[in-house]
Amino acid sequence: MSHGIGVTAALREVPDAVLVVFVLVTQLGDVWFYLSALVVAYAFADALPRVGAGVRRERVAFVVAVAVGAVALTAWLKLLFAHPRPPGAGQARELVWLPDLLVPLWEEAATGDGFALPSGHATGSAAIYGAAALALKIGRRRIRYAAAACIVGLVALSRVVIGVHYIGDVVAGVVVGSGYLAGVWLLTGGQRVKRAFSLATLVALGAAATHFGVETAAALGAALGGRIGWTIVGGRLPVGPTTRREGAVATLVGLGLGGALLTFGLAGETAAVGFLTNALAVAAVLSGPLVAARLTRG
């Protein structure tokens, strides 16, 4: 009870409908969700009506670099603290009304495994949504900050409601993610993408030095892939307005090729495969607009 302060146990009996809502909310802090959103934003950046100037590719690439670093930092700290999850975190509540076809998805979304401290969802949300609010100039600044804070708070709460984290895990995650973002922003000015990927690489190296496994190797591969990939394509991105056709092709390259590489890496279950596939996946995402421009402009 000391770590959870009784909150996790108190929330265990929430109605099924509330639990389902928070399982959906928690996806906002899942790696698959925010990386997919960043891929689309990066691909369509300059083609987005009204907000194109505020969503330039360099700014989105910066958020991607922050995301990679946050994932690596989470893996590192979890290995250092090796703190267990709450009892029952690996078992989803049975929903008798749920179709059998959706049961595997439900069990995947409503459970957690591995170490707990800090919460990866809370850490990632604080870093990524905070970075987006700072770097992407969409709408009014106060509204961006408020929206980011609301998302981070809801994602953090969802992890406790679902029962896969203690409240201390998510509070630590928000602090760690915010602190990491503040450090990267201070050292890069929010503009130096290569430096942001370099910082992510340093963090990933620390995690890999603590324990070289599939997860840490994958994080290191993603960071190095981003650092090398941006060095190659950062100064060669298409000049001038990007068409929606180019954005669609870039999205296919990023989500299609990048997603296939990541899936293959997860299936491989070896550190070497995880390192290589993640490096190539991030490089594919960053080079997507360049490939799209060449394909669509002849």
- In DSSP notation, 111-154 reads ---S--SS-HHHHHHHHHHHHHHHHS--S-HHHHHHHHHHHHHH
Which residues of the chain fall short of a pLDDT of 50? 1-2
6 is a domain residue: no
- pTM of whole model > 0.75? yes
165 is a domain residue: yes
| Measured distance CA(158)–CA(165) in Å, rounded | 9
Instruction: Determine whether 10 is exposed, middle or buried from the number of CB atoms within 10 Å of its CB (0-12, 13-18, 19+).
Output: exposed
229 is a domain residue: yes
Q: What is the pLDDT of residue 95?
A: 84
Cis preceding-peptide flag for 118 (omega within 30 of 0):
yes
79 is a domain residue: yes
181 is a domain residue: yes
76 is a domain residue: yes
Q: What is the pLDDT of residue 52?
A: 54
Query: Residue 182 belongs to what domain range?
Result: 12-296
Q: What is the pLDDT of residue 2?
A: 46
275 is a domain residue: yes
Q: What is the pLDDT of residue 223?
A: 95
1 is a domain residue: no
Count up the domains in the chain and report the number. 1
Q: What is the pLDDT of residue 8?
A: 57
Q: What is the pLDDT of residue 254?
A: 85
